């Protein structure tokens, strides 16, 4: 059985010109992989990131038993998690999109130039790649808030509704033009493009058809293209193409502004000379990067899951799906990987790895170029835009829920804010504090376990500096307020990797906290569990709560690494 492929089918990439040197994919592998990908696509639809299995049956057209097997496999792989009766996408899924971004090399190679240009122009800037008859963002540098909606990495725009589209369409085949016309007719209001406001009238699409043809011709003649409020009123953009050494347009760089600052003409006059120079610099950088394929590994290149779950989950585990996704995740080297490299990276026999690669190619997620297999931009449709935009609070909440389920005590996360800790997430069980704590609540850092963990994450000079400035006053009879004693406590906290505070903030309250570190090892937040002193000794608290708290912190850190691999984390 093959699934219906959901609303994005219209943007399915056309066959690549490169001919596969290998025999056709095997239906026994394509089927389960296709069903798994269709569940992930359904989960990626806007506002659908949490679904019941019955909703998935409706969205994918798959049988309930099939959905259950796909879901249990994806849960086992860590791409989905159970949330009560719902399932939801997890940040781990970002590793698939990150494999594409690493393999295509555009963010790594061109990102620094994009950053520099955005600062120079003091305008937002983006890099986008062609994806079927759409345009997909792979890098964004936001300088000013130019629009009411904010695009994210992975978002897909219709080619005719943005500046880069006219540059890409110049290279379309007749077949691609007819696919585009068919899509425009089938979806005149752009309902299948969740990143853009829908058109209010289908007749606009009719004028769009003629207008786009003109803009493509004009862009080809001038070597740049414009967006005069095609996405939303007020928003304008100017884009130039960036070609690979073979002359193919691989991406476009857009400068985005607003009619309150520029007209399209004045924006073009202001940025085009420099933009063209820098696009040429981007082309040189890309040409240099392709001479060293495989050089850069993805920042989140975690070893693939061991695939022995077949024994554990029996028929509920779809091994072909698990292997296919492991193969996709393994393509995370600049320029992609050869079959031998994939087999080595995934620990799969060559024949198995080859079947998975060919299935992924057939399903439009991978292309083969000579001996190298590369993920296609379409991989980003698997939840990337949603997951990469998650805030710290959103990332942490499910992990705190799980922790509270394990230890049956309240759990929280805070960040350092001046001399205070500020709550960014909290799952209360019952009230043991004399004040209510909600997101946004602040307490003085020196008197709390989370504050001590956060202060301990700073270097010694900064710690002492803060202690000397802070207003250290007793909040209970037990509060430590002596700067020298606090300095020693912070040193111990840094060594132990946790802090326990007993009745220094509130009578009867005991709190245990551990740090949460980002990919660079910097302490960015603290998580705690709080309990009542009547529940047992300090030794009991440590023995029962510390292991669970550390496991929760490790799970949070893994998610933070995935989310912040390509975009700075959104701190609340
Ligand atoms: C953007 O990067 O937000 C952008 C780029 C090109 C457009 C519109 C928006 O045409």
CA distances from 201 to 184, 187, 205, 229, 285 (A): 13, 11, 8, 16, 43
**157 Cβ below 6 A of ligand 1:** no
Cα–Cα distance for residue pair 413/421, rounded to 1 Å? 9
Ligand 1 centroid–CA 125 distance in Å is 8
Greatest alpha-carbon span in the chain: 80
**123 Cβ below 6 A of ligand 1:** no
pLDDT band with cut points at 50, 70 and 90 for residue 148: low
Within this chain, domains 124-260 and 392-564 share the same CATH topology: yes
Cα–Cα distance for residue pair 31/37, rounded to 1 Å? 10
Ligand 1 centroid–CA 300 distance in Å is 28
Ligand 1 centroid–CA 122 distance in Å is 15
Domain boundaries, the chain: 24-92+306-388, 124-260, 392-564
pLDDT (tens digit, 9 = 90+) per residue, 468-523? Answer: 999 999 999 999 999 999 999 999 999 999 999 999 999 999 999 999 999 889 99
CA atoms within 13 A on the CB side of 54: 1
Per-residue pLDDT averaged across 292-298, rounded?
Answer: 48
Name the H helices within 90-162. Answer: 94-104, 106-121
Q: Is 438 exposed, middle or buried (0-12, 13-18, 19+ CB in 10 A)?
A: exposed
**151 Cβ below 6 A of ligand 1:** yes
pLDDT band with cut points at 50, 70 and 90 for residue 84: confident
Residue of 118, 149, 157 with the most ligand 1 atoms within 8 Å of its CB, for mutation = 157
Ligand 1 centroid–CA 458 distance in Å is 39
CA distances from 521 to 141, 284, 515 (A): 24, 34, 10
Name the H helices within 141-262. Answer: 163-169, 174-186, 202-222
**227 Cβ below 6 A of ligand 1:** yes
pLDDT (tens digit, 9 = 90+) per residue, 430-464? Answer: 777 777 899 999 999 999 999 999 999 999 999 99
Ligand 1 centroid–CA 170 distance in Å is 18
Per-residue pLDDT averaged across 80-89, rounded?
Answer: 92
**254 Cβ below 6 A of ligand 1:** yes
**162 Cβ below 6 A of ligand 1:** yes
State yes or no: pLDDT of 60 exceeds 60.
Answer: yes
State yes or no: pLDDT of 103 exceeds 80.
Answer: yes
Whether 364 contacts 373, CB under 8 Å: no
**153 Cβ below 6 A of ligand 1:** no
Fold of 124-260: Beta-Lactamase (3.30.450)
Ligand 1 centroid–CA 181 distance in Å is 22
pLDDT (tens digit, 9 = 90+) per residue, 357-392? Answer: 999 999 999 999 999 999 999 999 999 999 998 989
The percentage of the chain sitting over the pLDDT mark of 90, rounded to a whole number, equals: 78
**226 Cβ below 6 A of ligand 1:** no
Ligand 1 centroid–CA 169 distance in Å is 16
CA atoms within 13 A on the CB side of 127: 26
Tokens at 409, concatenated: 């005590």
Whether 34 contacts 219, CB under 8 Å: no
The percentage of the chain sitting over the pLDDT mark of 70, rounded to a whole number, equals: 90
Which CATH number does the domain 392-564 belong to among 3.30.43.10, 3.30.450.40, 3.40.50.1820, 2.130.10.10? 3.30.450.40
Domain 24-92+306-388 has CATH 3.40.50.720: no
SS (H, E, C) 345-403: HHCCCHHHHHHHHHHHHHCCCEEEECCEEEECHHHHHCCHHHHHCCEHHHHHHHHHHHH
Cα–Cα distance for residue pair 282/112, rounded to 1 Å? 10
């Amino acid at each position: 059985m093959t699934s219906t492929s959901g609303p994005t089918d219209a943007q399915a990439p056309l066959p690549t010109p490169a001919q596969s040197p290998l025999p056709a994919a095997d239906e026994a592998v394509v089927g389960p992989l296709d069903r798994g990908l269709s569940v992930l696509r359904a989960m990626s639809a806007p506002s659908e990131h949490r679904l019941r299995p019955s909703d998935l049956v409706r969205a994918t057209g798959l049988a309930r038993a099939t959905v259950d097997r796909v879901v249990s496999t994806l849960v086992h792989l860590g791409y989905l998690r159970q949330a009560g009766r719902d399932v939801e996408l997890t940040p781990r899924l970002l590793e698939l999109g990150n494999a594409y971004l690493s393999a295509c090399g555009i963010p790594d190679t061109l990102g620094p130039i994009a950053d520099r240009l955005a600062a120079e122009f003091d305008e937002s800037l983006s890099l986008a790649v062609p994806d079927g008859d759409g345009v997909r963002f792979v890098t964004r540098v936001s300088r000013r808030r130019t629009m009411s909606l904010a695009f994210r990495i992975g978002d897909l725009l219709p080619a005719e509704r943005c500046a880069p589209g006219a540059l890409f369409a110049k290279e379309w085949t007749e077949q691609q033009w007819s696919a585009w016309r068919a899509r425009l007719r089938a979806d005149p209001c752009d309902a299948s493009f969740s990143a853009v406001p829908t058109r209010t009238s289908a007749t606009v699409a009719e004028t769009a058809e003629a207008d786009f043809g003109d803009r493509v011709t004009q862009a080809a003649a001038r070597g740049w293209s414009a967006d005069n409020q095609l996405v939303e009123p007020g928003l304008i953009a100017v884009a130039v193409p960036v070609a690979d050494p073979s002359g193919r347009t691989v991406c476009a760089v857009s400068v985005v502004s607003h009619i309150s600052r520029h007209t399209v003409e004045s924006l073009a006059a202001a940025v085009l000379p420099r933009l063209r120079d820098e696009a040429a610099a981007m082309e040189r950088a890309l040409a240099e990067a392709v001479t060293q394929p495989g050089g850069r590994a993805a920042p989140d290149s975690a070893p693939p899951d061991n695939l022995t779950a077949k024994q554990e989950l029996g028929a509920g585990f779809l091994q072909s799906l698990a292997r296919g996704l492991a193969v996709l995740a393994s393509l995370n080297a600049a320029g992609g990987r050869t079959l031998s490299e994939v087999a080595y990276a995934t620990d799969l026999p060559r024949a198995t790895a080859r079947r998975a690669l060919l299935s992924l190619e057939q399903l439009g997620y991978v292309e083969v170029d000579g001996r190298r297999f590369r993920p296609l931009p379409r991989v980003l449709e698997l939840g990337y835009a949603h997951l990469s935009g998650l805030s710290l609070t959103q990332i942490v909440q499910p992990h705190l829920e799980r922790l509270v389920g394990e230890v049956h005590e309240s759990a929280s996360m805070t960040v350092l804010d001046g001399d205070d800790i500020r709550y960014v997430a909290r799952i209360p069980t019952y009230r043991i504090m004399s004040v209510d704590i909600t997101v946004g609540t602040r307490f003085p850092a020196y008197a709390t376990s989370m504050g001590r963990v956060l202060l301990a994450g700073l270097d010694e000079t900064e710690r002492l500096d803060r202690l000397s400035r802070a207003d250290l006053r007793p909040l209970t009879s037990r509060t430590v307020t002596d700067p020298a004693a606090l300095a020693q406590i912070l040193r111990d906290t840094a060594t132990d990797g946790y802090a326990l505070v007993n009745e220094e903030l509130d009578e009867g309250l005991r709190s245990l906290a551990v740090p949460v570190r980002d990919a660079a090892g910097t302490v960015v937040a603290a998580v705690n569990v709080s309990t009542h002193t009547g529940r047992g000794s300090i030794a009991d608290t440590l023995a029962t709560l510390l292991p669970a708290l550390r496991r929760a912190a490790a799970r949070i850190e893994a998610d933070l690494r995935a989310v912040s691999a390509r975009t700075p984390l959104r701190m609340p």
